[in-house]
Amino acid sequence: MMDLNWIEDFLALCKCENFRISSEQRFISQPAFSRRIKSLEAWMGASLIDRSSQPVKLTEAGVLFKPVAQEIARLAYLSRNNIKAQIREEGEKIRFSTLSTLAQFFMPTWLKGLQPDIESELFSVRTDFANVGDYLCALDEGAVDFFICYVDPSETILYDTGKYASLHLGVEVLVPVVSPDSQGNPRWWLPSNPEGVIPYLQTQFTPSMWPVQHHLEKRYGNLSFLLVYEATIATALRSMVVEGYGVAWIPQSIIVDDLESGRVVRAGDENDEIKLDINIYRHSNFIAPQAEKFWQVLVQRPDHIDG
């Protein structure tokens, strides 16, 4: 039985003409990507890709099949999303996916600020996806209407920018913090270029969403850092910092009270901070009517910027 993933893999390869880049865009390993292309060729009973050239080219059969594959993918997603949209009731929930930290510390206030302008008061939020690829697949498959995430302004989480629309919602600052010593001073002060190994903690996100590792490599080439703890939620890092496990870059919104009380202290000045955008994404073509109304409210607000 043919798998729709094979079709999308084939179309990605048609566009990139490179197995490695195509596999990265499809968020799977190159060997797995190659196996899926071979499975499609076996199902078709013909070789679709000429692997003897670089960049790779389509065979005669591949050229014939390409417009058919494009139409199959278009009709499959159009039919599924149209059916889902038609069976939704007018008051169905607007469905978000996001990171746990944003679900806890950004979305409640943000949604409250939107209340005067939006019709729906029913929302659902999912934070259970493993990586960016899964979040974007949820948009593709109609499992959620919107994806909200942190984004490094110097990076991109999207390869196919035409597939998704985005808006800029705000900015979050990651502040380097540590627990204080007995005199209330930071155990490590980064601008002073401390000697020895500095333990640090970080979240398990891709660099474009949580660029702490890039920040360390770019800014502190003369310092020695040792990763001692990773977690999927920033609040877990906050707890470990309070207990004295090392330095962590934590969203300022989470640690405002801790900084004021002295439970944690800054490990550097403003130059050591990391600024992240908060963006919202939707599929460019497929969205439920209720979610479309919500999106138009966002588009018309002066504090939101097209991405």
CATH number at residue 69: 1.10.10.10
pLDDT tens over the chain, length 307 residues: 778 899 999 999 999 899 999 888 888 899 999 999 999 999 999 999 998 888 999 999 999 999 999 999 889 888 888 777 666 554 468 899 998 889 999 999 999 989 888 877 788 899 988 778 888 888 888 889 999 998 887 776 666 667 888 999 999 999 999 999 999 999 999 999 999 999 999 987 766 667 888 888 889 988 999 999 998 788 889 999 999 999 999 999 999 999 999 999 999 999 999 999 999 999 887 777 888 889 999 998 766 555 4
- Choose one of 49, 65, 87: the last residue of a domain: 87
Amino acid at 140: D
- Choose one of 58, 87, 116: the last residue of a domain: 87
pLDDT value at residue 256: 93
Q: Are residues 190 and 304 in the same domain?
A: yes
Contacts of 63 (CB under 8 A, 6+ apart): none
Q: Are residues 116 and 230 in the same domain?
A: yes
Q: Are residues 179 and 303 in the same domain?
A: yes
Amino acid at 203: T
User: What total number of domains does the chain contain?
Assistant: 2
Q: Are residues 68 and 197 in the same domain?
A: no
Amino acid at 207: P
pTM for this one?
A: 0.67
> Is residue 249 within 8 Å of residue 176, measured between CB atoms?
yes
Q: Are residues 46 and 177 in the same domain?
A: no
Q: Are residues 80 and 218 in the same domain?
A: no
Range of the domain at 167: 93-307
- Choose one of 44, 63, 87: the last residue of a domain: 87
Q: Are residues 33 and 165 in the same domain?
A: no
d(CA 128, CA 120): 23
What is the distance in angstroms between the CA of the first residue and the CA of the last residue of the chain? 39
Tokens standing for 49?
């890709």
